[in-house]
Structure 1
């Protein structure tokens, strides 16, 4: 129970990943911190539902092994990640095409063949020659095992060898470009910027558009081109992944690393100031600083006048099947937009712990409101090339404010310090990703420590521009 008169240096409102990341920084520096969460558990939108042995994520966000905060936060060193097969599968023109060479294998080439040459090799990847060398090197990379549902090997939809080399070169340049240089580029809507990258329309429409729609949860690609470049850079440098056991594994790990008694769930904040937080049922908590780490709407309700962004709605549809329709742990995109589903995956192949033995879990993401189940089943039957008539619908999770929009022009590093004693963090203050949420929490904690005159603990990574 939370004592109304309990004294704290900092009160954090919200136990999502941003608030928990900030709490770790503050408690590690010896600052007395209390985290208040209105919900019964931690994690915010990183929430997992358990039904009949299945573990169903309520959100459809994809993580990347290239996220810097996964390495910079020591407590996340024990986070088990389950990776998708390198790259993606794309369904177009009634066929499923493999594009694994354009993603994870490129990362392997950059970190392996090019990385062995150190800084000199990294600089060479900046040049057209270095990028083309990276693309050609992919041809000799080992192929993943073929799934039972075999994608087509010929790829006329994406172009010939020259188009593949150009795509590989473009991704290699992004992978090797420092973040601050990407953020200095001219800013346009992502859809408009893609047409000026020197790639043929069939490559843009057949691969980049569906991939970015999945990474950004933005079907119209109105997102800032800088945010889109960061997303593609992360894709080229790492592997798409999910936390083992469900999305809630990550916030649970952060919360477990905090001192006992730091996090208080079921406590709703109704008013904040620079020196206190008033709660609905637990009185008022005096403090020296307050950090709002809620979603954008909740933050605006507690601080009238705080700008609230638009949002991208996301619906996640979970099905159970007796057998996996795809044996490869791959992400499958629909480039033709032949139905409401933007991308889908057999999640039990990516992370076996998400389904009971002998059952398959298929999770599909719709970028918008909940569609008719008939339309979803019909589209999934086409994508996987099998009947979905006997698939069991497990759950439909809809969030109208799943992802804060980042239209151009967009400030990817919004201020976290509103004034001395009052701070705000979350993916609405950074990039609208897990990386952005974690990074904003760390930025807010550093600002609080500076204002309190506290030196951060030794061994922490410095704050730098992060994707």
Structure 2
């Protein structure tokens, strides 16, 4: 019989990080693959808006240089990661506190081309600018978090979790992260002043209802690496993945209306026949195509972008609010972290709210307190609210949710592993491995044990 006009061994629905990761594994094994994306561009939630020369991330999830899949995924070898300054800057009681500046020496292994980025952008001290003033008219002071003993305990705790194998972390009792923090053996001021705001930022979970095992994985990644962002915006990561695939594999602007184990029907381009279908969309879109798939709850995120007359903080620091004195959970002078995200000579300040969009006046007042400088001359560039930004991971949470539904039908995404970029890439690799196994193909990485997403 004549071959169908649209045919591939595997049809992947969705061109986010998970689907593109799976496509690389399949094509490298010689499996003909086509990736169908309804949007006009790849990336899914990892998208970046361009406004007057600024690059504004819609969600702005934090990455760490220690994510294993950033090294293992083909196509990411040329991705440049722009690191934040070591440690964290915490605002509490009108002061800036420095914490976790000394990380394990082995933590730098996760960087792809971080060394080059650091060479071109030297780190500045984690202190507020001299002219900055708090609401009371005094500049915020910079000091270590807690006493020297508190610092030593915190450093020891981070070093210990960095050295703990992932499998052992997953054997710990599972509780909501907020409940598990009290068992850390650290002073409450260290927990409230550092661990709670840090985990809220990493997990996009203000209430820390996330599984303590997933929280431990987040701390493990933080302690072993550096917080970072992709150079050029969040979209750079999926764009690198798509550009490294063979021509014609990724097709955007194709809306899928139904799927089966042997075909995919689209609204504009008819049917694609295949040997297997891999759903790599977000959880809700996957459930619409396959009724019965579980849709998890989500954390909503709002990112507010401003440009300021001058940088309100010296250095590429991530600034957390331990007091929770306003809507902003964390903020940074992003143009200090990644100069490519702002025109030359301009300043980009991006602030994350873990919830719905607040009033602009509340955001400005909170940023003025955090940075210790007036914000009335700041210009708002954009507000991006994503109601279903990050899948929630309450206990019990299975970070190895099955990617093989049945022979010929597979699913991947951050809702199948951990709700991180690492989890999305890892689930794509697991799904590709399942497809190749069912096809009777031994992948080139078969001898490598598939690790747990961290």
Please report the TM-score for the alignment, with normalisation by the length of structure 1: 0.89
Q: Structure 2 CA distance, aligned partners of 1:363 and 1:301?
A: 33
CA distance, structure 2, for counterparts of residue 372 and residue 458 of structure 1:
50
2:172 corresponds in structure 1 to 185
Indicate conservation of the 8 Å contact 2:399/2:453, yes or no: no
Give yes or no for contact 2:21–2:425 (8 Å, CA) kept in 1: yes
Deviation at 1:328, TM superposition (A): 0.9
**Equivalenced residues, count:** 431
Q: Is the 8 A contact 1:89 1:100 kept in 2?
A: no
- Please name the residue that 1:152 is paired with: 141
Contact 2:21–2:74 (CA under 8 A) maintained in structure 1: no
Answer yes or no: is the 8 Å Cα contact 1:323–1:358 preserved in 2: no
Q: Deviations over 1:182-220 (max 9, x none)?
A: 111110000000011111111100100000000000000
Answering whether residue 274 of structure 2 is matched by residue 287 of structure 1, we say yes
- Per-residue deviation, 1:153: 4.4
Match of 2:252 among 259, 262, 265: 265
Cα root mean square deviation, aligned: 1.8
Partner of 1:165: 152
Structure-2 change in CA distance of 1:459 and 1:80 (3 Å): farther
Contact 1:243 1:250 in 2 (8 A): yes
Which consecutive unaligned segments of at least 5 residues does structure 2 have?
Answer: 110-122, 131-139
Cα separation, 2, equivalents of 1:447 and 1:191: 35
Contact 1:290 1:423 in 2 (8 A): yes
- Cα distance between partner residues in 2 of 1:307 and 1:146: 44
Paired residues of 1:4 and 1:282 also in contact (CA < 8 A): no
Aligned mates of 1:152, 1:30 — CA distance in 2 = 59
Q: Is residue 55 from structure 1 mapped to residue 52 from structure 2 by the alignment?
A: no
CA contact (8 A) 1:276 1:284 kept: yes
Kept in 2: contact 1:16–1:45 (CA 8 A): yes
1:20 aligns with 2:17: no
* CA distance in structure 2 between the aligned counterparts of 1:58 and 1:299, rounded to whole angstroms: 21
2:407 paired with 1:410: no
- Alpha-carbon contact 2:47-2:57 (below 8 Å) kept: yes
CA contact (8 A) 1:275 1:286 kept: yes
**1:227-278: CA deviation from partner (whole Å, max 9, x where unpaired):** 0000001110000000001111110100011110001100011111111111
| 2:309 equivalent among 317, 322, 329 | 322
1:127 corresponding residue in structure 2: none
Q: Which of 199, 213, 230 does residue 200 from structure 2 map onto? A: 213
Structure 1 residue 286 displacement after superposition: 0.7
Contact kept, 8 Å, 2:128 with 2:371, in 1: the verdict is no
SS at match of 2:380: strand
| Distance of 1:237 and 1:72 partners within structure 2 | 17
The answer to whether residue 371 in structure 2 is matched with residue 384 in structure 1 is yes
Partner of 2:133: none
Q: Deviations over 1:15-41 (max 9, x none)?
A: 000000000000000000010000000
> Is 1:355 aligned to residue 338 of structure 2?
no
Q: Distance in 2 between matches of 1:148 and 1:92?
A: 13
Is the Cα contact below 8 Å between 2:302 and 2:352 reproduced in 1?
yes
Measure how far apart 1:145 and its partner are: 2.8
Q: Secondary structure at the residue paired with 1:344?
A: strand
Structure with the higher helix share, 1 or 2: 1
Normalising to structure 2: TM-score of the pair?
A: 0.92
Distance in 2 of aligned mates of 1:98 and 1:173: 20
Q: CA deviation at 1:466?
A: 3.0
Cα separation, 1, equivalents of 2:287 and 2:314: 45
When structure 1 is superposed on structure 2, of 395-404 and 278-287 the one drifting more is: 278-287
